[in-house]
Amino acid sequence: MKKNFNLSRFDFVTLRLFCAVAHSGSITQGAQTCHLALSAASRRLSEFEAATGTPLLERSKKGVLLTPAGHLTLQHCLRLFQGLEQFHSALSDYAQGLRGHVRLWANMSSLTEYLPRILHDFLSDHSDIVVELEEQLSGDIARALIDGIADIGVLADETPMDGLTVLPFQTNELVLLCHASHPLAKLKKVDFKTCLQYDFVGLNRGSSLLELTSRAAEREGVHMHLRVQVRSFDAMCHMIAAGLGVGVLPLGACVSQVQALKLKTVKVKNTWAQRKLVLAFNPQRALSPAAQLLMDKLTTTSTGAIAQA
């Protein structure tokens, strides 16, 4: 029989104590962090475990470790406190006369090429709204929208987005970037399969752009040799300028570096090089008036028709 427990018995002092103990691996240190007597802290943790009906901590002379249920509890506690911090931030904005707060998560491509101008115009018209902007990988953006951590996401169209409402945003032209002395630099257009005979510079694992080019290489039946992986488009440009390989990246992200670093851009013939960026939000979580205003601004700059995931 499934045991029910009373959530109203969990106060924030106990939850913060549990997080502190989990991070330090010590009830004594956790108690000190939360300014509690050791006996009071031990009692709170025991009552917490009793209320959940399952052990959360494994105690030993060396300290404490989380049980599987403890790991799950820690994840939910951290998410709860993150929500509280966002709640406090939003209320603080209202207290200071700011009427809205929007959490916008965007991938590197959109943040580099499109969002600076759009957000400048939007915030010029809506000085009473605060936009909390975070750069994240497309997959992480989709999960944040589902979990309610972000309000609006700008991400790559090839990202799994089941359950989210998806709207078109921009088309991102991907180009091959190489040093001016590279054999491919003489071409105006190139097929991706031809590029695969050379070393590549790419973004780190988890990037949707890396996944896109890796899948394209698999379809060609050729292994893409990644000689260097970095965390940003700027770093990619510098590695390519150093002769460490070629790279595929958005044209708008490398324009400013081409002349300065003596680089060349070559159009990629393959259809996937016209990459779609989309807007997304969770239809199960209604957009606030401020978020809706920002969504309206973003959709007025889009270049396609509405779609649903």
Kindly report, residue by residue over 202-258, the tens digit of the pLDDT.
988 878 889 899 999 999 999 999 999 998 899 999 999 999 999 999 998 888 888
> How much is the pLDDT for 308?
37
pLDDT at position 94 is 57
107 alpha-carbon distance from chain centroid:
7
> Containing H/E element for 173?
strand 165-179
Spatial distance between the Cα atoms of 259 and 215, rounded to a whole number of angstroms: 30
Q: Report the pLDDT value the prediction gives residue 309, as an integer from 0 to 100.
A: 36
- Which fold, 7-83? Arc Repressor Mutant, subunit A (1.10.10)
d(CA 169, CA 303): 6
How is residue 196 written in tokens?
């695969």
Fold of 98-169+275-308: D-Maltodextrin-Binding Protein; domain 2 (3.40.190)
Q: What is the distance between the alpha carbons of residues 299 and 225, in angstroms, rounded to a whole number? A: 38
pLDDT at 206: 77
The pTM of the full predicted model, rounded to 2 decimals, is: 0.62
**Cα dihedral sign for 216, 219, 224, 228?**
positive
- Tell me what percent of the chain is helix, strand and coil, each rounded to the nearest 5: 45, 25, 30
Residue of 36 and 308 predicted with greater confidence: 36
The CATH homologous superfamily to which domain 173-274 belongs is Periplasmic binding protein-like II (3.40.190.10)
Structural contact between residues 204 and 230, judged by C-beta atoms closer than 8 angstroms: yes
pLDDT at 265: 95
Give CATH 1.10.10.10 domain extents, the chain: 7-83
Quote the pLDDT of residue 190: 96
The helix (run of H) or strand (run of E) holding residue 33 is helix 27-33
Delimit the CATH 3.40.190.10 region(s) of the chain: 98-169+275-308, 173-274
Distances (CA, A) of 63 to 18, 28, 29, 94: 14, 9, 10, 44
Q: What's the average model confidence in pLDDT over 126-133?
A: 90
3-class DSSP assignment, residue 18: helix
**Residue 49: enclosing H or E segment and its boundaries?**
helix 38-52
Q: What is the mean pLDDT of residues 303-309?
A: 43
Give the residue, 245 or 95, on which the prediction is more confident.
245
Instruction: Give 265's contacts (C-beta < 8 A, 6+ positions apart).
Output: 175, 176, 177, 251, 254, 258
Residues 53-73, mean pLDDT to the nearest whole number = 89
Model confidence over 114-128: pLDDT tens digits? Answer: 999 999 999 999 988
Q: According to the model, what pLDDT value does residue 291 have?
A: 93
Strand partners, 156: 277
pLDDT digits (tens, 9 = 90+) for 174-207: 999 999 999 999 999 999 999 999 999 998 887 8
Would you say 40 and 11 are in contact if contact means Cβ atoms under 8 Å apart? no
**Which residue bears the tokens 């959360």?**
56
Q: Above 70 in pLDDT, residue 98? A: no
* DSSP result, 88-109: HHHHHHHHTT--EEEEEEE-HH
**Roughly how many angstroms between the first and final C-alpha of the chain, as a whole number?**
38
Q: Is the pLDDT of residue 103 over 70?
A: yes
Q: Dihedrals φ, ψ of 276, to 5°?
A: -90, 130
Length of the chain: 309
